[in-house]
């Protein structure tokens, strides 16, 4: 059986400053580095061993993946383009506080996040689901069993979870908060509602 562990990157400068990341490539903050070490230590303490670690090519995810890999002595760390965050289109670099002003009524609000659905130039959540499907097919073709860690981002991470468990994307957006350096487990013997392994927030 293949078990896929899904980690979100640590806090980066855009997260700290309330700026929408998308494909922007700001580095981790000091807090983000601490978060990455915290999740790495938790993984180590749980004696989790990964056959491979895949990371989004964006620095906030790759920095996080390098810290985790170094802590747990993972031998294989690869960049995977399919793990890159959603393209935010015209919302890239905008303030989080501007989402409702610029995108309402095409938004979904939760306690933690306001999701915009279809601003100009942005990938939609159905677009992300298609990318998540390609990713899962690729990982399953490479790994028939064992443990694999994917280090990614909030929106694409939720859609990977959505596709794996065949849940509606609208439901998944409101179902839980996927915080910085949270860790999810996607597995045949792990029900969707029990997927959170570690939650740092």
Annotated active-site positions, please?
A: 9, 85
Which one, of 186, 156, 172, 146, lies nearest residue 8 by Cα? Answer: 156
Round to the nearest angstrom and report the end-to-end CA distance of the chain: 30
Q: Is 10 annotated as a binding residue?
A: yes
Q: Answer yes or no: is 15 a known binding residue.
A: yes
Question: Would you say 121 is a known binding-site residue?
Answer: no
DSSP string, the chain: -EEEEEEEPPPBHHHHHTB--TT--PPB-HHHHHHHHHHHHHHHHTT---SEEEE-SSHHHHHHHHHHHHHHT-S-EEE-GGGSPPPBGGGTT-BGGGHHHHHTTSEEE-SS-EEE---TTBPPHHHHHHHHHHHHHHHHHH-SSEEEEEEE-HHHHHHHHHHHTT--HHHHHHH----TT-EEEEBTTB-GGG-EEE---
The answer to whether 58 is a known ligand-binding residue is: no
Determine whether the annotation assigns residue 143 to a binding site: no
Q: Does 14 show up as a binding residue in the annotation?
A: yes
Which residue(s) pair with 190 in the sheet? 187
8 is in an annotated binding site: yes
Going by the annotation, the residues of the binding site for substrate are: 8-15, 60
Going by the annotation, the residues of the binding site are: 8-15, 60
């Amino acid at each position: 059986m293949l078990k896929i562990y899904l980690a979100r990157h640590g806090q980066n400068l855009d997260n700290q400053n309330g700026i929408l990341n998308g494909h922007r490539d700001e580095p981790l903050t000091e807090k983000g580095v601490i978060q990455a070490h915290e999740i790495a230590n938790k993984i180590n303490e749980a004696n989790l061993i990964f056959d491979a670690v895949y990371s989004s090519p964006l620095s906030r995810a790759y920095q996080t993946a390098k810290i985790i890999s170094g802590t747990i002595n993972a031998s294989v760390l690869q960049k995977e383009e399919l793990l890159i965050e959603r393209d935010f289109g015209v919302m890239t670099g905008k303030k989080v506080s501007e989402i409702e002003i610029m995108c309402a009524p095409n938004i979904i609000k939760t306690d933690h996040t306001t999701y915009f659905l279809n601003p100009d130039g942005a990938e939609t959540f159905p677009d992300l689901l298609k990318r998540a499907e390609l990713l899962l097919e690729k990982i399953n073709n490479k790994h028939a069993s064992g443990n694999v860690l994917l280090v990614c981002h909030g929106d694409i991470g939720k859609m990977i979870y959505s596709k794996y468990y065949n849940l509606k994307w609208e439901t998944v957006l409101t179902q839980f908060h996927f915080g910085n350096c949270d860790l999810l487990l996607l597995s045949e013997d792990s029900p969707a509602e029990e997927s959170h392994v570690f939650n740092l927030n």
